[in-house]
Amino acid sequence: MANVLYDKGREGFLDGSIDWDTDDIRVILVDGADYTFSAAHDFLDDVAAGGRVAVSSAFSSKTVTSGIADSADVTLSAVTGDPCEMLVIYKHTGSDATSRLIAKIDTVQGGGALSVTPNGGDITIQWDNSTNKIFKL
């Protein structure tokens, strides 16, 4: 598959319910064996709890220049659990039923498949520094 924006995430940017540079945006390390992506998924409650291996704190240093979403790199601390094949970015509201899904990332820079096996250590997510950064609207 490829990196993709959720349909309701795109809708949220257009209707103003998602504001990248001011909202609490987070990322989840996800086990693809426990979550099957659908562009129609809308909120975090669509991502099975068993598939959520690690969750970040709020992104920092977010930018939106030229419709390109970027942020400082993120570190997930002391990660244990199943092997993971994707990242899911979402707007955190404190409730799974209202936390809007934004993007699914399963491909790393250069086109390879994302794959990480937690070993109890930290995992640093280094966002792509090329033209489109995390994603471009």
Domain locations along the chain:
4-136
What pLDDT, in 10s, does the model give residues 90-100? 999 999 999 99
pLDDT at 129 over 70: yes
Question: Which alpha helices (H) appear in the chain, and where do they start and end?
Answer: 7-15
- Is the pLDDT at 1 greater than 70? The verdict is no
- Whole-structure pTM value: 0.95
Element housing 18 (H / E): none
Provide the CB-side half-sphere exposure for 91 (13 A, CA).
24
Span 52-77, mean pLDDT? 96
Interior angle at CA 4, CA 119 and CA 16, nearest 5: 110
